[in-house]
Every structure is written in C-alpha cells, then in structure tokens.
Amino acid sequence: MTTYRVAVIGECMIELRREGDRLVDGFGGDTLNTAVYLARMNPSLHIHYVTALGPDGNSERMLAAWAEEGLDTRLVQRLADKNPGLYWIETDDRGERTFQYWRNDAAARYWLERDRNGAVQAALLEMDAIYLSGVSLAVLPAASRIALFELLARFRAGGGQVLFDNNYRPRLWTGVEDARAAYRRMLALTDTAFLTLDDEQALWGEESLDALLARTRRLGVTEIVLKRGGEPCLVATAEGLLEVPASPVPVEYILDTTAAGDSFSAGYLARRLVGDGPEQAAKAGHRLAGTVIQHRGAIIPSHFMPQ
C-alpha cells in the first residue's frame, strides 16, 4: 500500500514557562505541534517536518525528540550561523496564555535561502500534501515568501494538496494590508483551510459567517474548517455546510489552551487524509483538542492521548 506523504512547514522555538517555583524549558511551534499530533494520531501517514535549526544543543534535542515522535527530519536544514527562536509563556487561572518572543533572526526564517534549498524544494514537490500556517508565512522575509508561493503553485499544479491554518499573529507582520495580501495569495493556493474565527476577525474585521465563508470560497478554497473554540466547528464543502459540536470540557479541567487549534487540525487531518468524512474528522479534532487543553504545555505526554 502506498504511504501518504505529508510535509509540514514552519518554525519550532524553545519554550520557557514557569511551573510553581520552577522554570521549565521545552519546545513548540504551531506547525510542529500539528506535525507531532498528526503522527501520533495516524502512524500510517509519513510526516516530514520542514524548517531550519542551528548547530546548538537545543537544536540537537529537538531533532532527537522529533525522530522519537516518528517525524522524518531529513528536510530540516542546519545553519551554522543561526539558532532557534525562543518564547516565554504565561498562563492565567483560566488557562489562557500570553507570550513574549525572541525570534527576529531565528534559523527558521532562512530555510528557503541556503545551500540545501534546491534539494528541499525538489523533495517537497514529491509530497502528497503540504501543510503550513500563517506563522509559516509571517516569519519569512518577503522574497522567501514569494518563492514559497511559487513552489506551492507548482506543487498544486502537479496534483498536490495544500493545507493551510490561518494562525494570524499581527506582531509578525509589518501591517494588516501586508498580511491581507499574503493571505489572499495563500488562500488562492489552498485546498483545505483551517480558519480560527478570532483570527479571521482580527485580520479582516467583523463580518457575518456567511460573508467569511463566501470570501474564502471566492479565493478558491474547496474545504473550509472554521474553528470556534468550545463552540461547534463549521465545515464547508461542495456538499454543503456541516456543524459539528465539541465535547464539553468543564472549565475547572482546562489548564492550558496552548495548541488547542493546532491539535484540532491534526485530529481532523488524521482522519480526513485517509478518506474519512468531514464529520468524523471534526469529531476526532474536537476530541484531541479537548484532551490537550487539560494538560500544560504545547505537546502533552503521549500516554494522555485519546484512543
């Protein structure tokens, strides 16, 4: 049986957070979270992670951890003069988090600009699907972002499937118009879009759900998954609009909402990419996200994963 190959493009950063009186370090990033959870949820998929790291010890630990999770790291570039970015995370009593970032010269910004760029691009064109996020776009210099769009256009023209999660982070963009232009171009290259409602409103302004879906469809997206936190998600396909409720999680069990959306996307794709329908896929996404928010950190211990 042919293995379905998925490349996940993005940035992984060193994560620092406080637990009681201790300072705890780890790593995370929106697309890395999705890649790990996708590999866990469906080991039959072959997941490549695509980024750049440095020569440092943290980069070595990341690579070892990713390999242990079953990710293929052969497309991770190592840049001798760069290091991973870093973020500090604080979580309030309701599980909501705030971040501080140090990433302006992180290695992941340069994965399309170095010696192995040609080989990595050639490998990406051989994949079955490519997944990336708004953060994957935002961290790139403008010229690299254009090169990525051109790569995705060639990939899609060859029959590849493009999967995009909006993950809009205003601080990473020079301005809202710059971000809107990039998102329009990205969505025009996208088959399945995961849209978080709050991010859509922050980027495009207040609009009705009908207007949001219509705007996204006009750009050419054929499957739209609208994430609304604990509210039912909406899945719009050519067959119509489907509403799938989330399994409620009591507020006292919610410890950390980090990676809730990333894990939902992984749960959804773990089923959808192997032919399951959108309702079954959305239920898997809700189930995984509901588990993740009951634990601290972006990537929960594997023994807590839902069955």
> Residues with catalytic annotation?
262
Q: How many CB atoms lie within 10 A of CB 2?
A: 5
Instruction: Give the neighbor-by-neighbor strand order of the sheet with 22-28.
Output: 22-28, 13-19, 86-91, 97-102
Please list the alpha-helical segments (H only) found in 130-259.
Answer: 134-138, 142-157, 176-187, 197-204, 209-218
How many of the other CB atoms lie within 10 Å of CB of 63? 17
Token output for 235: 């899945």
> E strands, the chain, where?
5-9, 13-19, 22-28, 46-50, 52-53, 77-78, 86-91, 97-102, 129-133, 161-165, 192-196, 223-227, 233-237, 240-244
State how far the Cα of 23 lies from the Cα of 33, in Å rounded to an integer: 21
Which two structure tokens, joined as six digits, stand for 129?
A: 């699907």
What does the radius of gyration of the chain's CA atoms come to, in whole angstroms? Answer: 18
Distance of alpha carbon 281 from alpha carbon 237, whole angstroms: 13
